Chains A and B, each alone.
Chain A
């Protein structure tokens, strides 16, 4: 165990590094409640330069300026919704990483569930039409009975 602990300590150290803040210390707000709001909002806002990172993760200059704008809006007294609306008014719904639920996005939100229901329905219809595997076969016809009798006679 004594030999193992330095390795373990190193492993734990790498874990400690992971949640480090992407926000530069000089960008952070002094008020911790406001800063945590800003952080939560930044994680849900898309960097419009890199497009698949949040502004919190991105190193792009514009993402940095957007982080600062988010913080300025918060200090100015905006609610979370108002901050998001401020950026959506300028960059469109695309700026939110999670698409909003509205008429134009119904297909996006409900499409997968509809496909699943459709697939289940199709599967049900398919298996219903096939005869059940375990069902007992009907009685033999006269012809079959005659052939069976013949076979039994031969083998005896």
Chain B
């Protein structure tokens, strides 16, 4: 019998081991398999018109998100990770680099407004999405999620989870600069 046949299981073993090792390393670097790829990348922003948050300006609609590069951030006063991300958003607002539109998702508007007055309001405009209508149109799976939208109103990137300094420096800021060219 051909000796090489006995090597097949060994080769299969090492191929699988290499595959699993690659996944484990990728997982460590944030490439988590439970993060779903967005279906909306390179698609226009879904049409929507949300009701305004009391005391925080007018309503937010898809028409607002055109003509310049913007961020659309899904948040909620119930969301712990949003509170962690929030100071960073306030910092972006202060720097004036890019306007952020907020969608207060599945939230009590009173609690949402209270939360914003406590943590600061980084949003140019805010809309309320109590029944996930717009969240589902954007394919949102959890909060916070942030979409980068170009001047033509096309979604170019989705950040799942909080924006950290690292995410901002390595991914979002370069992308925003690129989209402005």
Contacts and interface: CB of A to CB of B under 8 A. Distances in A.
A90 B137 CA distance: 6
A65 B136 contact: yes
Interface of B: 1, 34, 36-37, 39-40, 106, 131-133, 135-142
B1 A62 contact: no
Ranked 8 nearest A-B pairs via Cβ: A65-B132, A90-B139, A48-B141, A92-B39, A91-B139, A94-B36, A61-B106, A65-B131
A29 interface: no
A89 interface: yes
Interface in A27-71: 48-49, 51, 61-62, 65-66, 68-69
A67 to B, nearest CB: 11
Interface residues of A, number: 17
Interface of A: 48-49, 51, 61-62, 65-66, 68-69, 87-92, 94, 129
A66 B141 CA distance: 11
A91 B36 contact: yes
A129 B36 contact: no
17 contacts: A48-B141, A49-B142, A61-B132, A62-B106, A62-B132, A62-B135, A65-B132, A66-B136, A69-B133, A87-B136, A90-B39, A90-B137, A91-B36, A91-B39, A91-B141, A92-B37, A92-B39
B1 A129 contact: yes
A48 B145 CA distance: 14
Contact of B141 (A62, A88, A89): A62
Contacts of A87: 136
